[in-house]
Amino acid sequence: MKIKIKRIDKTLPLPEYQTDGAVGFDLFCRQKTYIGPQTVGLIPANVIVETPPGYMLVIALRSSTPRKKGLLIPHGLGVIDQDYCGPSDEILIQVFNFTDQEVVIEPGERIAQGIFVKVENAKSGIGWQETDQINHKARGGFGSTDSE
């Protein structure tokens, strides 16, 4: 699979897979970014990616980022749609600084990783079939598999 990608700052490397078995490629911070304590901020990832049809691009933090930087993605992960690839659609990594100190991300620092995931949606073939009744046994509500 060939993925079209545009770097904003060509002095920084293209995203890269660190090992042959890696499923995620590392994204690099484009510019020095300050995230205040207990605040949400955006880290520019230096790339615009044309996600291929039938895929979505998931953005997740590197496993070391919370421990090393005190940052989390507030909604767990980022979803990059196939049509988010216009001339100004640089990937931005939304993070929450859960520390009481300002966090500084330096240019070229690896903070997050991207993973291409094959997807289908109801619009492109599956389709909705509305019904007034679902004929499956109820599981017991939110978190029900842990309530036994």
Give percent above pLDDT 90 in the chain. 77
pLDDT digit string (tens) for 70-119?
Answer: 999 998 899 999 999 999 999 999 999 999 999 999 999 999 999 999 99
Structure token pair of residue 58? 């998931």
Coil, helix or strand at residue 49: strand
Q: Say whether pLDDT at 147 is over 60.
A: no
Question: Could you write out the DSSP letters of every residue in 77-120?
Answer: SEEE-TT--STT---EEEEEE-SSS-EEE-TT-EEEEEEEEE--
Residue 124 is predicted with a pLDDT of 64
Q: Is 45 exposed, middle or buried (0-12, 13-18, 19+ CB in 10 A)?
A: buried
Structure token pair of residue 109? 């620092």
| 66 or 137, higher pLDDT | 66
pLDDT digit string (tens) for 45-55?
Answer: 999 999 999 99
Residue 135 pLDDT grade (very low, low, confident, very high; cuts 50, 70, 90): confident
Residue 129 pLDDT grade (very low, low, confident, very high; cuts 50, 70, 90): confident
24 Rama class: left (phi>0) / alpha (psi -120 to 50) / beta: beta
CA distance 44 to 93: 6
Q: Where do we find the tokens 């909705």? A: 128
CA distance 72 to 60: 9
Domains of the chain: 4-121 (2.70.40.10)
CA distance 146 to 109: 39
